[in-house]
Amino acid sequence: MRVVPYNSGCVLPGWLSEPPVRPRIAVYAEFILAVGDAGTGELGTLPANVRASGWVPLSDLLPTYVGLIHHGGAGLEADAATIDAGTVQRLLDDGALRRNAREVQAEIAACDHSERKREGR
């Protein structure tokens, strides 16, 4: 078994191919909204450091950001009601979180490399 990212099909937004100008944090959760082709205009005016986008494949987004806020899993945990600027700053600054993420990344890469080697690729 190996990790194979599946992202379905989409057109990547142009900003994703540009290097981030400041640390990028992705906020990721699953929301099911039965609104058809509605855009993000209903969100109103967003702060300058917030980008509204439709669906973006995580395998393309992951290499460009330093943190991920999502609906569950390991790492830094916080209830939605308690996430504040300090929580986000810890996500950016906590070296232990970064080391742990790199260890998991290396484990996944090693598993993928072993599988490819077994398959002769």
The pTM (predicted TM-score) of the whole model is: 0.56
Q: Cβ–Cβ contacts within 10 Å for residue 12, how many? A: 13
User: What local confidence, expressed as pLDDT, does residue 40 receive?
Assistant: 64
Q: Tokens representing 55?
A: 């669906």
**DSSP-assigned beta bridge partners for residue 70:** 28
pLDDT exceeds cutoff 80 at 114: no
More confident residue, 35 or 80: 80
Q: The domain 14-118 is classified under which CATH number: 3.40.50.300, 3.40.50.2000, 3.30.390.50, 3.30.70.1230? A: 3.40.50.2000
pLDDT tens track for 75-84: 788 887 888 8
Give the dihedral sign, CA 109/113/115/121.
positive
Strands (E) in the chain, as ranges, are: 25-28, 67-70
Decide which of 24 and 8 is more confident.
24
Q: What is the mean pLDDT of residues 8-35?
A: 71
